[in-house]
Amino acid sequence: MNDVKWTGGTEHWTSRKVDSDEVRLFLWEKKASPEVPHAGTIFFVHGSSMASQPTFDLSVPGRPFSSAMDWFASQGFDTWTMDNEGYGRSDKHRDINFDISNGADDLAAGSQYILKATGAKSLLLYGISSGALKAALFTERHPERVAKIALDAFVWTGEGSPTLTERKKKLPEFKSKNRRPIDRAFVHSIFQRDHPDTADTATVSAFSDAILTLDDSMPTGTYVDMCSKLPLLDPKRITVPSIILRGEYDGIASMDDLLEFFRLLPNMNKQFSVMKGISHASFQQKNYMMVYQILHSFFTMPEPIYKGQSQ
């Protein structure tokens, strides 16, 4: 396992009380460039099988702006991410499987800290895979803290998902324990299961190094939830401006599943973007700069002046 260093950011810690226990949560911040106008504050939410820094602050030689945090900071955004409980540097001591609802509780604590630290009135929220489920559930609970939400590699009911169909075969195993082992072969499998060649070898290797520097196992809770408890969300309760991003080859959700969720979102300031040549882990794909541009456009789009009868 190679050691991986993350530089140029600031480490933060917050905590939340759970009964008589205190859960410590690690946050990582990279500030907006002072050379461009300030554009907002982004809170990035990681998925089931990797902590926050490998996902959003990855360094790959010869691959400009492999760190999404660096690119968005260069565009004027204050950027934050956090390890959910059970991942990375955050606490792992509780005897639970760290499910999606627990992750949404973490986001409540993390968002409260970020808003206080920055003075921002609300956050631009991005979640990927199970992180999208956590972000959406948090938004249902705390819409006042979210200016806009981006849901990437998202799933609603799970109908028509080849990835979840395969994963359900191991559901009894996932239910039997709180953590599942991971290794380099597992990380590489993420990029092979849907459509080979959407990510380059150097990026996948660097991603593996970064993930395995922090963890050799992952919680089972999000897998159990996604295999046996969907749907976890009511789209009619997500009232903030929203974008759904779907990789062309992503097997986690069918197009019909996502389009029906999108149809039910009540805020008409919403977008649905299909990303060509992308499978599941969009920031680690060959077409990653396209994803950045889509998000940047959504996050910087001005509020509509005329809102019709809903005004």
pTM over 0.85: yes
Tokens encoding 244: 């759904």
pLDDT band at 1 (very low <50, low <70, confident <90, very high): very low
Please report whether residue 1 resides in a domain. Answer: no
Read off the pLDDT of each residue in 234-240 and give the average, rounded to a whole number.
98
Kindly tell me the burial class for residue 172, based on how many C-beta atoms sit within 10 Å of its own C-beta (0-12, 13-18, 19 or more).
Answer: exposed
Q: Report, in angstroms and rounded to the nearest whole number, the Rg of the chain calculated over CA atoms.
A: 18
Question: How high is the pLDDT of residue 311?
Answer: 53
Q: For the sheet containing 21-30, what is the strand order? A: 10-18, 21-30, 77-82, 40-45, 123-128, 146-152, 242-247, 270-275
Q: Which residues contact 195 (CB under 8 A, 6 or more apart)?
A: 249, 279
pLDDT band at 204 (very low <50, low <70, confident <90, very high): very high
Secondary-structure breakdown of the chain: helix, strand, coil percentages, each rounded to the nearest 5:
40, 20, 40
Tokens encoding 139: 């938004």
Please report whether residue 42 resides in a domain. Answer: yes
DSSP 63-101: STT--HHHHHHHTTEEEEEEPPTTSTTS---SSS---HH
Read off the pLDDT of each residue in 240-254 and give the average, rounded to a whole number.
97
Give the whole-angstrom CA distance, residue 271 versus residue 260.
Answer: 13
**Total count of domains within the chain:** 1
Question: How high is the pLDDT of residue 278?
Answer: 97
Domain span including residue 177: 10-301
In the chain the first and final C-alpha atoms are separated, in Å, by 55
Length of the chain (residues): 311
Question: How high is the pLDDT of residue 2?
Answer: 55
| Residue 198: CB atoms within 10 Å | 22
Please report whether residue 171 resides in a domain. Answer: yes
Please report whether residue 310 resides in a domain. Answer: no
Name the percent of the chain lying above pLDDT 90: 96
pLDDT in tens, 51-91: 999 999 999 999 999 999 999 999 999 999 999 999 999 99
pLDDT in tens, 13-49: 999 999 999 999 999 999 999 999 999 999 999 999 9
> Residue 143 above 90 pLDDT?
yes
Please report whether residue 307 resides in a domain. Answer: no
| CATH number of the domain encompassing residue 149 | 3.40.50.1820
Q: Please tell me whether residue 200 adopts helix, strand or coil conformation.
A: coil
> Residue 300 above 70 pLDDT?
yes
Question: How high is the pLDDT of residue 308?
Answer: 86
Judge whether 110 and 201 are in contact, CB under 8 Å: no
Please report whether residue 309 resides in a domain. Answer: no
Please report whether residue 311 resides in a domain. Answer: no
